[in-house]
Amino acid sequence: MKKKLEVKNNVLKGGIHYLTSDYKTRNSNRSTHNGIDLIGENGIDEIVAIEDGTVIYTGYDTSGGGYWLSIKTNDIEHRYFHLKKGSFKVKKGDNIRKGEVIATMGNSGNATGNCLHFAIYQNGYVDPMPYLINESPFNTDDFTSFVKSLQEIIKVNIDGIPGSETLSKTPTISTSIGWNHAAVRPLQVYLQSLGYDLGKCKVDGKFGKDMKACIKKYQADNNLPIIDGKISARMYTWKKLLKLK
């Protein structure tokens, strides 16, 4: 597999990104590979930070990731694996700017060749592709706006901070129940900000078959125990959407 990507946020200095292994596609039940593997136009490339942040770890992953480092932006970690030994240009505690060279691609760990294994960690691994292809993916304003809109609709305290009260009032939304609930529109806007495809109807405030497919993908990407394209009141999908454990 080798697919050229059109990205808005570089993790390779050269700006050319070829995908060689996708997120969670190593076997039929999508239970492995917690990131994506990338190579540059001529193979090896220097690695740059995808966003401003603080280095919170540099070291070696004995489970297969090899030399790696993690940078934290807001509550989101961007992690870089299979780095070349001795190539780190940053250390724990450094404040890093977007586009700054942090290391060189390598084949340390269980790599089959020189590549970057790029991963996003936020209370668990999530699909990193939206962070490459969308504008300002680390901007938490989209999340806060979503939460405030939802809180206003379900008539709870509007503070942009989700908690038990917000979760307790979440509605059931599916193609047959609550399909035109007022919460559908802000939900669509938020999912779109995360890079999810809403289908041909885009943001229309209606939960149709395209939205069902979108929710199923979101549930699968986030390893939720139920993947049915339905958002049940107070249950797993709402908890994940609201970043509640």
| Unique residue bearing structure tokens 């549930």 | 219
Please tell me the predicted confidence (pLDDT) of residue 158. 83
- Token pair for 173: 């939304």
Distance, in Å, from the CA atom of 102 to the CA atom of 81, rounded to the nearest integer, reads 12
Please tell me the predicted confidence (pLDDT) of residue 74. 80
Please tell me the predicted confidence (pLDDT) of residue 30. 44
> Could you tell me if 110 and 31 are in contact, meaning their C-beta atoms sit under 8 angstroms apart?
no
DSSP 8-class letter at 138: T
Please tell me the predicted confidence (pLDDT) of residue 143. 87
What stretches in the chain show pLDDT beneath 50?
28-30
Structural domains in the chain, sorted by start: 3-133 (2.70.70.10), 141-241 (1.10.101)
